[in-house]
Amino acid sequence: MPIPNVSLYETLTGRFSNGLAIDQASEHEQLLLSVLGTLQRLFASRQGALAHVPGFGLPDLGRMLDAQPAARQRLCQALSDAVLAAEPRVLNAKATPLAQSIPGQLSLELTLELADGRCQAVSAAFTAHSPVVLAALCDHGMQGPAGRPR
């Protein structure tokens, strides 16, 4: 059975989390917008906060948002693991820390291999007291992270 482009919630409401109607997006855009919505909810949640889905979310970021390289690497690994556990339409995920340009903000680039075979770069900016900001950067073309042709 193929993996759907949109989630059950989006199917029922007819809209993505940003308010755009499903039928206003192409199939590839539907998949990307739906995955980004799931990632937004995932990154805004903390593990253990939802009793019925205890593994959903990220670990406590308070200890991970310091400037130490080892802490940033742990966060990148935690992010990649959380994405792969929560989103079946992502086949591979790799988080890479970006240079810190704003004090107190951790910026990352996520490279995602989507179920439709495309690779997508997404930026994520984490701060202690505001929501995570996600933005799709670019489609990496026709080669996945493992170098498999599509």
Q: Which of 24-33, 71-80, 105-114, 136-145 shows the lowest per-residue confidence on average (mean pLDDT)?
A: 136-145
What is the residue range of 82's domain?
46-139
Alpha-carbon torsion, ordered 140, 92, 19, 46, to 10 deg: -140
**Residues with Cβ within 8 Å of residue 114, at least 6 apart in sequence:** 31, 32, 35, 89, 90, 91, 120
pTM for the model stands at 0.79
Is 131 part of any domain? yes
Domain count, the chain: 1
Element (H, E) at 77: helix 69-86
Residue 147: the pLDDT is 40
Q: What pLDDT does residue 71 have? A: 75
pLDDT in tens, 73-117: 888 898 999 999 999 999 999 999 888 888 877 888 999 999 888
Is residue 91, in this structure, part of any structural domain at all?
Answer: yes
Q: Is 103 part of a structural domain of the chain?
A: yes
Condensed to tens digits (0 to 9), the pLDDT of residues 79-88 reads: 999 999 999 9
Q: What's the CATH code of the domain at 58?
A: 3.10.450.40
Could you tell me how many residues make up the chain?
Answer: 150
Least confident of 1-5, 71-75, 92-96, 119-123: 1-5
Residue 51, in any domain of the structure = yes
22, part of any domain: no
Domain membership of residue 77 (yes or no) is yes
Q: Please report whether residue 117 resides in a domain.
A: yes
Residue 75 lies in a domain: yes
